[in-house]
Amino acid sequence: MSEVSYAYHANALGIGGVINGPTRKVIPSLAATVLAPTGGLGSSIVSDYNQHGVSFTTAYSMVRGDIDSNGDFRTEAEVTIDNLDVLDTLHVDRMRATVTSLRNPADNEARITFHAEYHGVFNGSDQILPDVDLDLFTNYPTYDSFLGEVASDRDKYKAMFGWPDDEASTIDDAIKSALNPRGLASPSAMQSLRASMVRGLKTKHDAQAYPGNIVRVPGVGKVHFAEVLLKPGRRRLTLLQIDLDRPAQIRRRSVSSSAAFESRASTAGIETLGAPAPSSGGTMTMASLEGNGTLIWPKQGG
């Protein structure tokens, strides 16, 4: 058999996005790095950023690709942000994420696992405590195994990930494909599925974990925690994505009341998020990374 080669794929981003106001402001892709297809190592660091209502002391990203001692093609990506502040309201002391992809030439798909952590997340003076599930994606590191787990308790995961009813056909098709012993995938099953490493959110004033991974922070917008996009052999983790309020809704002030915390949940007293505003204030992505690769066979000259 000819020897296979591997095209590595990994990228990591500190912060980037667009703010729509009286004028359109672009936050460039900061602390962004991409791995060479042949592997190796890359890194980027940005310090003391403070523009357009966003500041942080350090944003760092790293990507790496090599063959490990077991003969697996190993891809890693990491991103860390310290002392993040958004519009004088949302603050994160530190957040960090890693993704590791292992691909053996004998396997049909890479095994991809994540790590995510948040320290000191505040909405004004009210602390937000994301309930991070480190086991789910570790125990089910492939697309098929993840969907097999989802199929075992579909209603539970539908509620946990906030899947709306209009996504049901895609989810069902993907699950059927995953459970198909012949491994035949329908076109809809190849669409990205959205999940999260956060199974609930708490506040300093309320120890109850509210389902979902999205909160609305007044004066900022809708904040997504640890969102994961899945496709066969491909996963992306984003620690924070913010759908900004319309400019007229953004107030540059701190919010101290716990009543300002709103979670996507059906729990009494917690407002369910409705449809997005017709005019967006922009979107920001913070601490986002991906790592995988593609087998190439036969190797040139093999």
SS (H, E, C) the chain: CCCCEEEEEEEEEEEEEEEECCCEEEEEEECCEECCCCCEEEEEEEEEEEECCEEEEEEEEEEEEEECCCCCEEEEEEEEEEEEEECCCEEEEEEEEEEEEEECCCCCCCEEEEEEEEEEEEECCEEEEEEECCCHHHHCCCHHHHHHHHHHCHHHHHHHHCCCHHHHHHHHHHHHHHHCCCCCCCHHHHCCEEEECEEEEEECCEEEEEECCEEEECCCEEEEEEEEEEECCEEEEEEEEEEECCHHHCCCCCCCCHHHCEECCCCCCCCCCCCCCCCCCEEEEEEEEEEEEEEECCCCCC
Looking up tokens 């990205």, which residue turns up?
192
Angstrom distance (rounded) from CA 91 to CA 253:
12
Q: Which of 186, 156, 187, 193 has the alpha carbon at shortest distance from 171?
A: 193
Distances (CA, A) of 201 to 82, 98, 138, 225, 264: 21, 21, 21, 9, 9
Q: Give me the helix-helix angle, 168-179 and 143-152, nearest 10°.
A: 110
Residue 255 pLDDT: 40
How far lies 252's CA from each of 32, 54, 57, in Å? 28, 11, 20
Look at residue 268 in the predicted model and tell me its pLDDT: 27
Listed by start position, the domains of the chain span: 5-296
- At 29 the pLDDT is 95
> 102 and 168 in contact (C-beta within 8 Å)?
no
- By the 8 A CB rule, do 73 and 67 touch? yes
Distance CA 36, CA 64 (A): 9
pLDDT value at residue 143 = 85
Could you tell me which of 91, 83, 23 has the C-alpha nearest to residue 56?
83
Query: Would you state the torsion angle of the CA atoms of residues 177, 182, 187, 190, taken in this order, to the nearest 10 degrees?
Result: 60
Q: Which residues of the chain have pLDDT under 70?
A: 1-2, 164-191, 207-210, 247-279, 297-302
- Residue 29 CA to residue 126 CA, distance in Å, equals 29
